[in-house]
Amino acid sequence: MLQLTSKTTATAPSLTKQEEARGRVAALNAQFRHFGTSYFLEAVLTRGIFDRIAMVSSFGADSAVLLHLIAQIDRSVPVLFIDTALLFPETLRYQQELSAHLGLSNVQTIRAAPRTVQAYDPYGALRFSDPDACCTLRKTTVLNAALVGYDAWITGRKRHQAKTREGLHYFDLDDGTARIKINPLIDWKPSRIAAHLDTHDLPRHPLVAQGYPSIGCAPCTSPVTADEDSRAGRWRGMEKIECGLHTTPVTKGAPT
């Protein structure tokens, strides 16, 4: 089997481009560090700071908040939704319901080509032998290909979600590229998220009420208890804590 990485291009950006991007990230964080979320999003989406920008959404537990905020500014912003073919049926239904509710006009469902999945994971068992490679096959490589041509993308990451996210800023650099990630909700706590959902009567993901505060693929997501962090149910019992969209995993078996 081919050696798999989470990169989709044959060559990484030059060190100079990455250094320039790091400098730009630092400058943007300094410029926007005191902005409120709505004002921040309005600036990012309407002031020409980036040439092409997309949002990447899992349509998970908290996704309605950020999607709602963006819809108030521009409902035509590209929203990339990764269908891994292992998602909960509830997530697929919720994606349709929430998109319609918010009037989103440019939701793009992206997925690995069936022949690629057949080549690298014909029995659907890669998640057992190499979960990092499974995420690379079904998510990371798919997203990297979809983001070609974009210079920035918006995420829903928050500082409270896990210890690995406590140091998040509004902007950071996409791993191994010169593309910038934007994190508008870094300081939103669960109480603020719940209040926004209630105030705007936004549809909830049905699994939240069943104890799933963070929702990924069905085989790798379990409910959490009140004393656990919100991502404790992701890859339970493994050292793995991220799918690879925000950190590059060491893999043995995912496509380039």
* Residues with a known catalytic role: 243
Q: Which residues lie below 8 Å from residue 194, measured CB to CB, with a gap of 6+?
A: none
Q: Are strands 180-182 and 152-154 parallel, antiparallel or unpaired?
A: parallel
Q: How far apart are CA 54 and CA 49, in angstroms?
A: 13
Token pair of 144 as six digits = 């990297």
Q: How far apart are CA 215 and CA 217, in angstroms?
A: 7
User: What is the SS3 assignment for 172?
Assistant: strand
b/e map of 38-57 (b: 16 or more CB within 10 Å)?
eebbbebbeeebbeebbbbb
Task: Please tell me whether residue 2 adopts helix, strand or coil conformation.
Answer: coil
Question: Residue 101 class from Cβ within 10 Å (0-12 exposed, 13-18 middle, 19+ buried)?
Answer: middle
